[in-house]
A = this chain, B = another copy of it.
Amino acid sequence: MTQDTQTPRFSFSLNATDGRARTGVISTPRGDIRTPAFMPVGTAATVKAMMPESVRATGADVLLGNTYHLMLRPTAERIANLGGLHKFMNWERPILTDSGGFQVMSLSDLRKLTEEGVTFRSHVDGSKHFLSPERSMEIQKLLGSDIVMCFDECPALPADRKRIAESMRLSMRWAQRSKDAFGDRPGHALFGIQQGGLEKDFREESAEALKEIGFDGYAIGGLAVGEGQDLMFQTLDFAPEFLPQDKPRYLMGVGKPDDIVGAVKRGVDMMDCVLPSRSGRTGQAWTRRGQVNIKNARHADDPRPLDEQCTCPACSNYSRAYLHHVYRSHEMISGMLLTWHNLHYFQEIMQGMRDAIAAGTFEAWEKDFHDTRALGDIEPV
């Protein structure tokens, strides 16, 4: 962990580009984040089924925490009193927190959206809460987040242009209020979030509004909300280009391995997704040869590892037969091992892309990635 308490700082340096793909380093007082970076999601102050040391061992430089979940339980004030989220969850490296805006719209009950913010009821206990740009900034500060996200709002897709434009413009007004409320916090970063759905003109308008305000990094929001990979990639063909070259670009909530590779190819530096951990708890493994459903009876007698080339504990120490058995037996080690494998594989993809971009061989790396996936899983024994 690189830490310089004398000069708290947040900076981004681009080390190499290959086509539109980029590799670099985000420096923070809590350590460096190598980009392109995949951020495991630690929703309720834990990456589900993992010890934080194990998450770090997969190669993760940064975690994502969810403001919505943490504000409801155990509450941001409680976490602040206990010394902040890093200490609370035993993760001393950087943490990015979302603003709560997306989860409020997708998880809470009886929500009411106004210019001021969102009133809603907790999905945990039905209690009433209010989120606004100012309250979101306050919560993320209480948590001690290193990378704070603007409070925003976005429609599920498909949506009509009028709804997308209105929502984007509200989010831009909230971005200004977020910036004002965030204030000056050396060593901490505030990211703006571009909205505008799949509409090129709105994406440009949103990027211009954000650049006018000025942020430490820029997220691409409002994608991976049901539009499918083709439309997401079409949007990523233009959306990142409207954002500054010299700041990190974060594509929120993405994705499957091929989504991630396609996003990096189009100039994205950071991503997050629950997929590797959620899949791990439901018996789904992601490997270089595609998805493996460990529940399938074909694995019951298979002495081979999930992926012979993988160096994670699940692949180094256990057979597919064991992984099948513990899944079928509802044993916790099933989720523990598959989550570890999936997170390890996702980080391996990121390292592969970072190395390939630095070497100027991203195109060959990408071809190999797709060719290997196209082989499909190994033949049954």
Across the interface, do A325 and B45 meet the contact criterion of CB distance under 8 Å? Answer: yes
What are the interface flags for A299-335 relative to B under an 8 Å C-beta threshold, 1 for contact and 0 otherwise?
0110100000000010001110110111011011101
Instruction: Report A60 CB to chain B, min CB distance, Å.
Output: 16
Contact digits for A37-77, partner B, Cβ 8 Å, 1 yes 0 no: 00000001110111100000000000000000000011000
Contact flag A82-B332 (CB < 8 Å), given A45-B326, A46-B326, A51-B313: no
A318 interface neighbour in B50, B90, B328, Cβ under 8 Å: B90
The answer to whether A321 and B44 have CB atoms under 8 Å apart is no
- Contacts A88-B319, A90-B317, A336-B51 given; indicate if A329 touches B73 (C-beta within 8 A): yes
Q: How far is the CA of A35 from the CA of B378 in the complex (A)?
A: 46
Main SS of chain A's interface residues? loop
A322, B85: Cα distance in complex, Å? 10
Given contacts A44-B326, A88-B321, list 5 more A-B pairs with CB under 8 A.
A44-B329, A48-B331, A74-B324, A74-B328, A332-B336
Interface string of A68-112 (1 = CB under 8 A from B): 000001100010011100001110000000000000000000000
CB proximity of A145 to chain B, nearest CB, Å? 17
The bracket for how many chain A residues form the interface is 35 or more
Cα(A328)–Cα(B318), bound, Å = 32
CB pair B301 A78 closer than 8 Å: yes
How distant is the Cα of A335 from the Cα of B330 in the complex, in angstroms? 14
Q: Which of B50, B301, B333 contacts A46 (CB 8 A)?
A: B333
A91, chain B: closest CB distance, angstroms: 10
Task: Give the contacting residue for A319; candidates B82, B319, B326, B335; CB below 8 A.
Answer: B82
How far is B89's CA from A322's CA once the two chains are assembled, in angstroms?
A: 7
The answer to whether B48 and A332 have CB atoms under 8 Å apart is: yes
On whether the beta carbons of B328 and A78 are closer than 8 Å, the reply is no
Contact, CB under 8 Å: A78 / B332: no
With contacts A317-B90, A336-B332 known, is A325 near B48, CB below 8 A? no
Q: How far is the CA of A83 from the CA of B324 in the complex (A)?
A: 16
Question: With A82-B321, A90-B317 in contact, do A332 and B329 touch (Cβ < 8 Å)?
Answer: no
Residue pairs across A and B with Cβ atoms less than 8 A apart, 23 shown, are A44-B325, A44-B329, A45-B322, A46-B331, A46-B333, A51-B336, A73-B325, A73-B329, A74-B300, A74-B324, A81-B303, A82-B303, A82-B319, A82-B321, A88-B321, A88-B322, A89-B322, A90-B317, A90-B318, A90-B322, A332-B335, A332-B336, A336-B336
CA A329 to CA B45, docked complex, whole Å: 10
Residues from chain B with Cβ under 8 Å of A326 in the complex = 44-46
Given contacts A44-B326, A300-B78, A301-B82, contact A51 B321 (CB under 8 A): no
A49 surroundings in chain B (CB, below 8 A): 332-333
Nearest Cβ on chain B to A87's Cβ, whole angstroms: 8
Q: Which residues of B contact A73 (CB under 8 A)?
A: 325, 328-329
Q: Indicate if the CB atoms of A325 and B74 lie closer than 8 Å.
A: yes
